[in-house]
């Protein structure tokens, strides 16, 4: 079973389409939160994900930006982020808002005998705490619990780290698909083959997309282009 893992689409439908077009033969897409938030295509983004979800090819958790778009407090966000969240609140359709509000805080599932836990932040703090390369290894050993795979989002840099006493458990952050991290961004994603009785085998993709189209639409709507 091939599983694609993405995070931080952030209303960037151009980047999302580029990834879906480039990475083929994926049985299921997992998204570690923040479908919307900072870019100018919230409805177009969610509509693609809704269609994939209907085909049982897409599973997502709620992210901190998603949660803010639904009306929760915006403490901790920068001013430009707050502006984008408020804009998204006004533009998102009722149907797409309902889809967003139905997303779970976390997902716990088994794929080919491997126990997977997915959350936007961390198992101990779903919306406030992120996991990155600087996260203490002993702490990772603790929070991974008895899961074979822990998938997180929040941080924009990709991470694949083996943890646990036998170093057979894996912490994965696919990196940012839609929130740019450079002046010539690529859409980050990962994919892994889940095979019963075998270790995960996968790869990282940085997919080129027409980011100038997103930048133009953002500026047209008074939104920042975050880099």
Q: What is the CATH number of the domain that holds 91?
A: 3.60.21.10
Q: Is residue 97 part of a domain?
A: yes
142 in a structural domain: no
Task: Identify whether 211 is part of a domain.
Answer: yes
Number of structural domains found in the chain = 1
Q: Tell me if 43 is assigned to some domain.
A: yes
Please give the order of strands across the beta sheet that includes 169-173.
106-111, 114-119, 149-151, 169-173, 159-163
Domain that holds residue 180: 2-106+175-220
What average pLDDT does the chain have?
A: 94
Structure-token match 């209907």, residue found: 54
pLDDT on residue 128: 84
Query: Is residue 104 very low, low, confident or very high in pLDDT (cuts 50, 70, 90)?
Result: very high
**Over residues 195-218, mean pLDDT:** 93
pTM of the model as a whole: 0.95
Q: Is residue 79 part of a domain?
A: yes
Decide if 135 is inside a domain: no
Rounded CA separation 37/72 (Å): 13
Half-sphere CA count of 173, side-chain side, radius 13 A: 20
State the pLDDT confidence band at 7, using cuts at 50, 70 and 90: very high
Residue 124 lies in a domain: no
């Amino acid at each position: 079973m091939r599983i694609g893992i993405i995070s931080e689409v952030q209303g960037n439908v151009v980047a999302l389409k580029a990834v879906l077009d480039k990475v083929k033969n994926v049985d299921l897409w997992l998204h570690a939160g923040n479908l919307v938030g900072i870019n100018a295509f919230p409805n177009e983004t969610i509509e693609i994900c809704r269609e994939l979800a209907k085909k049982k090819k897409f599973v997502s958790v709620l992210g901190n930006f998603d949660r803010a778009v639904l009306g929760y407090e915006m403490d901790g966000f920068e001013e430009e982020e707050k502006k984008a969240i408020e804009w998204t609140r006004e533009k998102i359709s009722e149907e797409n808002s309902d889809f967003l509000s139905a997303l779970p805080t976390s997902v716990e599932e088994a794929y080919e005998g491997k126990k997977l836990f997915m959350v936007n932040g961390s198992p101990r703090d779903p919306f406030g705490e992120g996991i990155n390369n600087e996260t203490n290894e002993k702490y990772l050993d603790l929070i991974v619990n008895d899961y074979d795979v822990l998938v997180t989002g929040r941080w924009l840099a990709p991470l694949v780290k083996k943890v646990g006493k036998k170093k057979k458990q894996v912490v994965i952050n696919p990196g940012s698909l839609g929130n740019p991290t450079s002046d010539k961004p690529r859409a980050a994603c990962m994919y892994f083959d889940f095979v019963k009785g075998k270790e995960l085998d996968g790869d990282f993709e940085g997919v080129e997309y027409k980011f100038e189209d997103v930048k133009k639409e953002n500026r047209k709507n008074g939104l920042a282009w975050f880099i």
